[in-house]
Structure 1
Amino acid sequence: MLKVEGINVYYGNIQALKGVTLEVNEGEIVTLIGANGAGKSTLLKTLSGLLKPKTGSITYLGKSISGKAAQTIVKAGISHVPEGRRVFANMTVEENLELGAYLRKDAAGIRADLDRVYEIFPRLLERKKQASGTLSGGEQQMLAMGRAIMARPKLLLLDEPSMGLAPLFVKTIFQVIQEINNNGTTILLVEQNANMALSIADRAYVIETGRVVLSGTAKELQASEELKLAYLGGH
């Protein structure tokens, strides 16, 4: 579904991604693991059109999307939930969700997806008329994910969905990621919680200082001694 070949991405003179190659097949959950500053968020921003690769290629469903505008990429079916839960604080929960569907014209489908988001996140239904800025961090993360679902993406890019959340919320978010995937959305997940990410992923890539240094099935990486020491708390 998504093929990234040898992309190099720079912030000014600093090279953030160095020849990154990876692929995501339809129906998979693929996770990117790595320390802060390794280039994981940069990769998602490049895939969603917020950053442009200097060299290399990005192919989605057989077509090149390298350097295309973010809006074109959303239209093609890729939704990005950035780190830090960017919700529109002064708008209500429901208005935020409706914004997710702004490129769609199918009123009945939008209504059905709104109902589905409320089914997945009952908390959002309870708070649908509330200003989004008054929600807790966990609720804002639910809202950011709900808004992405409203775009009805084929591929969902999730950047650190569990960051800063209470353990109970983390569990909920991971269950929801699996549910979204079971409903037919392919997922590329960036996550600091490597154990949790590997427990739901099909495959994983480890990124260090802008390079892919390890890849394999989630089970292979869970069993990797090298990875255990670096990212899985050593046991």
Structure 2
Amino acid sequence: MLSVDAIDVYYGNIQALRGVSLTVEEGEIVTLIGANGAGKSTLLKTLSGLLKPKTGKIEFLGQSIAGKPAQGIVKSGISHVPEGRRVFANLTVEENLELGAFLRKDKKGIETDLKKVYDTFPRLLERRKQMSGTLSGGEQQMLAMGRAIMAKPKLLLLDEPSMGLAPLMVKTIFKVVKEINAEGTTILLVEQNAHMALSVANRGYVIETGKVVLSGPADEFHASDEIRKAYLGGH
């Protein structure tokens, strides 16, 4: 579904990604693991058109999307839940969700999906008239994911969905990640909580200083001493 081939990405003169290649097959959950500043968020921003690669190729469903404007990439079926949630604080919960469906014309489908988001996150239904800026961190994460789902993506890019959340909320978020995937959405997940990420993922890639240094099935990562020491706290 997604093929990234040897991309280099720079912030000014600083190289953030070095020859990164990876693939995501339809129906998978693929996770990117790596320390802070390794380039994981940069990769997601490049895939969603917020950054342009200097070299290399990015193809989604057989079409080149490298350097395409962000709105065109959303239209082609990729939604991005950015790090730090980025909800529209001065709009209500429901207005945020409606904005997620901005490019859609199917009124009936939008209503159905709004109901589905509320079924998935009952808390958002309770808060639907509330200003988004007044929600807790966990509720804002639910809203950011709900808003992305409203775009009806084929591929969902999730950046650090568990960051700063209480353990119980983290469990809820990952349960939903699995549900979204089971309903047919492919997911590329960036996550500091490597244990959690590998427990839901089919495959993983390890990124260090802008390079992919390892890739393989998630259960192999769990079994690898090297990965355990570096990313799973040695447990």
Following superposition, the deviation at residue 90 of structure 1 comes to 1.1
**Match status 1:93 vs 2:115:** no
Following superposition, the deviation at residue 139 of structure 1 comes to 0.1
Q: Structure 1: any 5+ residue segments left out of the alignment?
A: none
Alignment partners' CA distance in 2, 1:131 and 1:12 = 37
Alignment partners' CA distance in 1, 2:99 and 2:69 = 19
The aligned amino acid for 2:186 is T
Where does 1:130-145 land on structure 2 (aligned, <5 Å)? 130-145=130-145
Alignment partners' CA distance in 2, 1:88 and 1:22 = 32
Match of 1:45 in 2: 45
Alignment partners' CA distance in 2, 1:200 and 1:49 = 26
Match of 1:167 in 2: 167
The aligned amino acid for 2:25 is N
Secondary structure of residue in 1 paired with 2:10: strand
CA deviation string 1:21-66 (max 9, x = no partner): 0000000000000000000000000000000000000000001001
Where does 1:74-223 land on structure 2 (aligned, <5 Å)? 74-223=74-223
Secondary structure of residue in 2 paired with 1:43: helix
Secondary structure of residue in 2 paired with 1:22: strand
Following superposition, the deviation at residue 169 of structure 1 comes to 0.3
Match of 1:56 in 2: 56
Alignment partners' CA distance in 2, 1:224 and 1:43 = 25
Match of 2:24 in 1: 24
Alignment partners' CA distance in 1, 2:49 and 2:90 = 26
Secondary structure of residue in 1 paired with 2:227: helix
The aligned amino acid for 1:195 is H
Following superposition, the deviation at residue 67 of structure 1 comes to 0.5
Following superposition, the deviation at residue 137 of structure 1 comes to 0.3
The aligned amino acid for 2:2 is L
Alignment partners' CA distance in 1, 2:90 and 2:58 = 36
Alignment partners' CA distance in 1, 2:57 and 2:38 = 20
Following superposition, the deviation at residue 183 of structure 1 comes to 0.6
Secondary structure of residue in 1 paired with 2:149: helix
Q: Name the % identity.
A: 80
The aligned amino acid for 1:166 is A
**Residue correspondences, number:** 235
Alignment partners' CA distance in 1, 2:212 and 2:226 = 14
The aligned amino acid for 1:121 is F
Q: Structure 2: any 5+ residue segments left out of the alignment?
A: none
Match of 1:233 in 2: 233
Following superposition, the deviation at residue 174 of structure 1 comes to 0.1
Alignment partners' CA distance in 1, 2:60 and 2:53 = 15
Following superposition, the deviation at residue 182 of structure 1 comes to 0.4
Following superposition, the deviation at residue 200 of structure 1 comes to 0.3
Alignment partners' CA distance in 1, 2:68 and 2:88 = 25
Q: TM-score, normalised by structure 1?
A: 1.00
Q: TM-score, normalised by structure 2?
A: 1.00
CA deviation string 1:71-117 (max 9, x = no partner): 00000000000000101111110000000000000000000000000
